[in-house]
Structure 1
Amino acid sequence: MKAVIENRIRSKIINDLFDRNEWGKARRLIVKELTKDPQNHWLLTRLSSTYYEEHKYEEALDVSLKAIEIKPHCPLVLWDLATTLDMINREEESIHILKKLLRRGVSKIAYDECGEGKRWAESLLNDCRFRIANSYRRLNQMELSKKFILLHLRHRKPGLPSLYSITEARELLRSVS
């Protein structure tokens, strides 16, 4: 029980640092925690995100690949890997991973071992649609981009968080129409 409480506290502290964009502080804490638990895929994927947010995509990729070895089906690990691949111009690989997440569906993602509930799964999958649309746009596949951004817009609903604003989604749609 004590370990569960400690993990929740640790997760909250790390998430709070993420919310404040304090990537260096988060990274120092995560690295310290990894010395105690080096096979913790959640810590590894959060470490990857600190590099990603500072545009250090090669470092992010290295850490993401370690996380994927430990938990190859974790939705957060897959998301972090896909978004990092996208940023280093490996769009096809990114799209493949994101579509794999979409095929799993809300229920399987929400309630699997790494799931964080239905709302989180719906949000993650809708952000996958946005990222796929943007990747297809960068690959100059405008019809596919339009298809996925329309799906993203259709699945948006009040109270469902997204990393992407409605303005960004509409701008992407305009750019491919």
Structure 2
Amino acid sequence: MITLYLAEDQSMLNSALTQLLELEDDLHVVGSAVDGINAWQELQELQPDVAILDIEMPGITGLDVADRLASSQLATKVIVLTTFAQRRYFERAVKPNVAGYLLKDSPSDDLIDAIRAVMTGRTIYAPELVTNMLSAGTTRNYLSAIFSKLGVHNRLEAIRVAKANQWL
């Protein structure tokens, strides 16, 4: 059973998400809050497996809560769930080792899949956020480095090498 804590300042969304998550056989919401201060206090006490945090909340932000969790070395993994696809929020979220960063307009199955994925050690970020972080030049640089390491000249050759090595 994966224990969850939900911090979302919109009461209706908080209740709806709690009910939705409770429908899953392997998920259990152990607590929730509509502000960051109560979330932080209860997270220290409950120590759930995963905390799902909104960014903008009264008191302290979800990112502040994530920072505190990271510095206190609690084992709780953090998934940020927000409407903000802003670079500055995403960059700040990555610093305290946030395990997931999803947008609220994502399908609910994405959140459920992300919870299970972060419990296996994976990191899940909304594709829109990663795309915003990388410029065309950075992408080109990464591709060049990959091609060089694989000893290939283009994407098609890289895919062939990956398939031959059963990486895909």
TM bucket (normalised to shorter chain) is 0.3 to 0.5
Structure with the larger helix share: 1
Q: Which has the higher contact order (CA 8 A, sep 6+)?
A: 2
Please identify the structure whose Cα radius of gyration is greater. 2
TM-score by length of 1: 0.33
Name the structure with the higher strand share.
Answer: 2
